[in-house]
Every structure is written in C-alpha cells, then in structure tokens.
C-alpha cells in the first residue's frame, strides 16, 4: 500500500525540538534530543514502551516543559510563552491522546463542540452543527452523535478523539498511538484518515506508533527513540536496515513471526 506523493517543504520547519533533555527524578527520559518536523510532513516516531514518546509530544504542546533546550513550534518557543500566547498556539496544534481522553460526562456532540465553542465564540448554532457533522462524517461515525463515550468501543472512541482535534483545523497534528489495540480494518481506516488529513489540509503531523504497518502507510520519514535519543532516522528501509538488537525485533515481530 504505497503512499501518495505529498508536498513537503524541507525549508520550512514547523517543529524544532532543539537539544532537549527531560528527566523525572533520577529517570532520564530524553537526553539532548534533536528532531525537526517539516511543513506538510508525516513524521513517525518509533520506540519501545516507556522511552519517552508521549513525553516528547507533551513537551511540544507545552503540557510538560524541558529541563534544558528549547521546543520551537510554528516559530514560537513553547517554554517561553505566557498563558495567552500558549493558548493561541495550542489552537493550531491537534493532540490526539493515547487513550482518547474523551470528556466522559459529555455526549459525542458536546465533546466535538467543546473546542469549537470555547475557542471561536462568535460561531452560530448552525455553523457549529455543520462543523460537527462534517468532522464526524470524516471519521465515519455520524450515527454516534448523541451517544456517551462510555457507550462506544475503543476504536470508536479513538476516532472521536481524532475528530475532536481535527475540528479546529490544526496546522499540526500529534497522534499518540492512533492504531493501538484496534482491529486491522479500523487500523486501515485510521491510517487513511491520517493521510487524508495530510493531503487535504496540508497538515504536518507526528505519529507515535508501535504498528509498523501504520508507520509504513502514513510515514514520510521516521525516527526511532533509543536510550533517550533519536539514533536512527530516515525512511522505513533505512531505519530497519541494521542488525542492531534494539531495532531488529520491531521489524521481526511485525513482519516475520
């Protein structure tokens, strides 16, 4: 399943994680990490559990701040922004959480409306409804609009979570394990959705995944987090063309065993 060619501008960096380190107590999660995301690109981040992939995107969205180094997003240094500037920047970043993080006291409709109503206060009721229906149709779940999150399956929740982040039409999307725990057909749907978002809105995305089929399908470029650093970068072939014992099992597990 080959990816369509997309327009990537290597001269325009939308995210630059610049020499960033992050520890929790004695646990050094990221050590002088340096990685860039270019305009219009899908960057896949690979790495074992607990290596700090989620921490990386939390640094990018300002949920955590780096111990040293800088995180630059769309020309702004995240760790230097005040509340108001950070809020403005966050509206341009979509964050799809590993566990969906749907608001479980609200219906699907209210979940989707929430970012819209809160950030664009001059929209009319009709405009809001239209946006909600459109984005819900995009993830193929129009029928779920009045359900509560607790009534949905894991895969449906994930799609609603992605829909909720797409509704603000972000310039950057951060997907934390979008296909984890889903059946192959839903995985394919989600991968297509990720590519569609990239093609249609020229969104730049970071996709964290353990699923190499997903990585292959959506990624323009890949980086692998090993011992707190991005030691390997490149295309799918380049990453796995190695006998490194920390890398090879990823491939073997996904495609051979």
Partner 1 sequence: MGSKIEKLLIEFARIHRFMVSFLREAVSPPYEFKEIIRQCYEIGWKSFPLISLTGFIVGFVFTKQSRPSLEEFGATSWLPALISIAIVRALAPLVTALIASGKVGSQIGAELSSMNVTEQIDAMEVSGTNPTKFLVSTRIIATTFMIPVLCFYVAGIGLFGGYLSIIGKDDLSMLAFFTQVFESIAAKDIFAMVIRAVVFGFTIGFASSYVGYYSTKGTEGVGKAANSAVVSSMFLVFVEELLIVQLLALIN
Residues that bind Mg ion (CB under 5 A): 54
The CB density around residue 164, as the number of other CB atoms within 10 Å, is: 28
Q: 50 vs 181, which CB is nearer to ligand ATP?
A: 50
Identify what 168 binds: partner 1, Mg ion, ligand ATP, none; CB under 5 to 8 Å per kind.
partner 1
Q: Both tokens of residue 185?
A: 């057909």
Of the candidate residues 42, 165, 204, 205, the single one contacting partner 1 (CB under 8 A): 165
Q: How far is the CB of 54 from ligand ATP (least distance, A)?
A: 3
Of the candidate residues 43, 97, 162, 211, the single one contacting partner 1 (CB under 8 A): 97
Q: How far is the CB of 174 from ligand ATP (least distance, A)?
A: 12
Q: 29 vs 93, which CB is nearer to ligand ATP?
A: 29
Tell me the three-class secondary structure of 223-236, residue by residue: EEEECCEEEEEECH
Q: How far is the CB of 95 from Mg ion (least distance, A)?
A: 12
Query: In this chain, which stretch among 68-76, 111-119, 197-205, 242-250 interacts with partner 1, using CB under 8 A?
Result: 111-119
Q: How far is the CB of 246 from partner 1 (least distance, A)?
A: 28
Q: Is the dihedral of CA 155, 174, 195, 221 positive or negative?
A: negative
**Interface with partner 1 by CB under 8 A: which residues?**
58, 61-63, 83, 87-88, 90-91, 93, 95, 97-99, 101-105, 114-115, 118-119, 121, 164-165, 168
């Amino acid at each position: 399943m080959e990816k369509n060619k997309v327009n990537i501008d290597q001269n325009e960096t939308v995210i630059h994680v610049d020499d960033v380190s992050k520890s929790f107590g004695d646990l050094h999660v990221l050590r002088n990490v340096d990685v860039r995301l270019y305009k219009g690109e899908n960057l896949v981040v690979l790495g074992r559990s607990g290596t700090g992939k989620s921490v990386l995107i939390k640094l990018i969205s300002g949920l955590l701040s780096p111990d040293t180094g800088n995180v630059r997003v769309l020309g702004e240094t995240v760790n230097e922004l005040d509340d108001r500037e950070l809020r403005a920047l966050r509206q341009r970043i979509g964050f799809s959480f590993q566990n969906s993080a749907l608001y479980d006291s609200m219906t699907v409709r209210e979940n989707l409306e929430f970012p819209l109503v809160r950030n664009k206060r001059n929209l009319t009721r009709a405009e809001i409804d239209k946006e909600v229906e459109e984005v819900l149709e995009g993830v193929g779940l129009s029928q779920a609009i009045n359900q509560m999150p607790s009534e949905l399956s894991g895969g449906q929740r994930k799609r609603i979570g992605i829909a909720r982040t797409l509704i603000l039409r972000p310039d950057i999307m951060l997907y934390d394990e979008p296909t984890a725990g889903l059946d192959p057909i839903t995985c394919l749907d989600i991968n297509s959705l990720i590519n569609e978002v990239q093609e249609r809105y020229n969104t730049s995305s970071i996709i964290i995944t353990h699923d190499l089929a997903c990585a292959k399908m959506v990624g323009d470029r890949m980086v692998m987090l090993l011992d707190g650093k991005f030691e390997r970068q490149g295309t799918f072939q380049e990453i796995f063309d190695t006998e490194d014992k920390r890398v090879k099992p990823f491939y073997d597990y996904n495609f051979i065993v």
